[in-house]
Amino acid sequence: MKKLLSLALISLTAGLYALNNFDALMSSSGLRGPNMEMIVDTVIGGNWAGLKMSVNDKDSNGRSLIELLNVFAPSHRKMALVEKVIMAPGFDINGKNFKIGVFSNLTLLMGASMLEDLELVTALLKVPGIDINAKDAKGKTALFYAKMGEKMSKKPNTAVIDKLKAAGATE
């Protein structure tokens, strides 16, 4: 009972200072290590202390759960948590809501391709319904961004490029 009251108080306090339900959960939970597992499970569950949330929600800084995992999840658990989110019911796998530097309105696949993240690209290609040739506002695809990432880093990104092409990606 004491734990339940503490959770309610934390929830109420966090909710007063948060701009949305996602912020309330983040601020009361802490964004480090093992708490990220609890956060993922809670968000996928869609309800925290009576507050509704979705795997597609963003915090008040515009960061998605995937982006927060990239920064705060322990490296040995990061991919497992990301896979849990992208496979969760309702996750918008083709949503154009990621930003990397000056590049915005990217799908997660475009961003992962640009950042040369082979592990994430591989996981994303397994998600049913992914549009491998989705285009941004300028008509660019994940394959374009993979090649751009290669030019920006000045190192070969052939593994990501080959993986995308093998899956049927076009520019």
**Domains defined along the chain, listed by start:** 1-91 (no CATH), 93-171 (1.25.40.20)
Task: Specify the pLDDT at position 162.
Answer: 96
Question: pTM for this one?
Answer: 0.77
Specify whether the CB–CB gap between 136 and 99 falls below 8 A.
no
Angle, helices 34-45 vs 65-72, to 10°: value is: 170
Specify whether the CB–CB gap between 149 and 157 falls below 8 A.
yes
Please report where in the chains the tokens 């950042």 appear, as a residue.
Answer: 115
Q: Report residue 7 as tokens.
A: 């959770």
- Percent of the chain surpassing pLDDT 70: 79
pLDDT digits (tens, 9 = 90+) for 87-120: 999 899 999 988 888 888 899 999 999 989 999 9
Task: Specify the pLDDT at position 166.
Answer: 97
- Percent of the chain surpassing pLDDT 90: 36
Task: Give mean pLDDT, residues 28-35.
Answer: 60
